[in-house]
Structure 1
Amino acid sequence: MSDFVIVVHGGAENKGRDEITPEKEAAFRNGIEKALQAGHEILETGGTAVDAVEAAVRCLENSYLFNAGKGGAFDEEKGIAFDASIMDGNSLKLGAVAAVKNVKNPISLAKTVKDRSEHCLLVAEGAEKFAREQ
């Protein structure tokens, strides 16, 4: 029996349940299951909670179904920019990025900010420059 729990939230669709087809609901559930499994595998093998969160969120970012990444919503300029943050509850170290446009997995960049930067938040072009340097 595991001594941990992992929870993943895929976001809130701007539609009523009656507007989501059974096929789309199944796809959402499958995507959430993949994210849960990715995080669970990390924890099951003794990995850290931070690594599990990163793995789960990367699954969401890599899916067109969720607005965490590929499925992001357009902003006012018809572009897509992402924010991500991650925190280690034991050390209270955190990393965050905001308004990044050219980063495949913002959660991994946020983790890199936490681990390899003197800053806790990097924004837009500064965050993207840091990503290229890393």
Structure 2
Amino acid sequence: MMCHGTRHCTPLLAIHGGAGTIRRDKMTPEREAEYRAVLAESLQSGFAILTDGGPALDAVQTAVRVMEDSPLFNAGRGAVFTHEGVNECDACLMDGSNRAVGAVAAVRRIRNPIDLARLVLEKSSHVLLSGNGAEQFAVQHGMLLEHDPKYFFTEHRWQQLQDAIEKEEAQKGKAFTQLDHTDDER
């Protein structure tokens, strides 16, 4: 929050669209408009909670969920593939008022990892749960698992994996391999 004196505070919400780089020469005006629309929806959904006096955790969770539901971002539905060809997602949520943290890593069947991170923050004595253990915790607390991996699949992310594997094969036998996380298609 940004406070003016002791009586009036204006809520602030900042988001970022995830890891990776989208090369400017690959970004069409139409594609940029798509990204901006989802980012605006994310900000507006979270900010509405703050301006209504709602908790910051709810605002952040809601804003992140919008990005996780979009195939454009490297989170949830648009997550990159592991080398093994599966989508694994991570999320973390922190409550600044009491420094409580909840995080999940390497979850494969959770549509909105931020929701599970919130559950870990509120219902677990642990800070981080990962993989199958995190998913078991989710089920024990009433969350539904996504059993169809196609929910997370995007052709763009699949092609990124194929390109990375191709580059890796070309580098075999060389002493140094550089990882490239640029998003050349977009």
Given the two structures, how large is their TM-score scaled by the length of structure 1?
0.95
What letter matches 1:89 in structure 2? G
Of residues 111, 122, 128, the one that matches 1:115 is: 122
Aligned pairs for 1:70-81 within 5 A: 70-81=77-88
Bigger Cα displacement from structure 2, 43-52 vs 27-36: 43-52
Give SS of 1:64's match: coil
The alpha carbon displacement at 1:14 in A equals 3.5
The list of structure 1 runs, each at least 4 consecutive aligned residues, that deviate by more than 6 angstroms after superposition, is none
Rg (Cα) greater in structure: 2
Alignment-mate amino acid for residue 21 of structure 2: N
RMSD of the alignment, in Å?
A: 1.3
In 2 relative to 1, CA 77–116 (structure 1 residues): closer, same or farther, beyond 3 Å? same
Deviation at 1:68, TM superposition (A): 1.2
- 1:15 positional shift: 3.2
Number of residues of Structure 1 aligned to a counterpart in Structure 2: 134
Letter in 2 for 1:70: R
Identity level (%): 46
Indicate the residue corresponding to 2:95 in structure 1: 88
Structure 2 CA distance, aligned partners of 1:64 and 1:51?
Answer: 22
Equivalents in 1 of 2:48, 2:22: separation in Å?
Answer: 32
Note the alpha carbon deviations across 1:70-100, whole angstroms, 9 max, x for none. Answer: 1111111011000100000001111000000
Q: Could you state the TM-score of these two structures normalised by the residue count of structure 2? A: 0.69
Question: 1:13 deviation in Å?
Answer: 4.9
Of residues 8-17 and 115-124 in structure 1, the stretch that sits farther from structure 2 once superposed is: 8-17
Matches of 1:3 and 1:14, distance apart in 2: 31
Once the two structures are TM-superposed, the CA of residue 11 in structure 1 deviates from its matched residue by 2.5
Using the TM superposition, give the Cα deviation of residue 7 of structure 1 relative to its aligned residue in structure 2, in angstroms.
Answer: 1.1
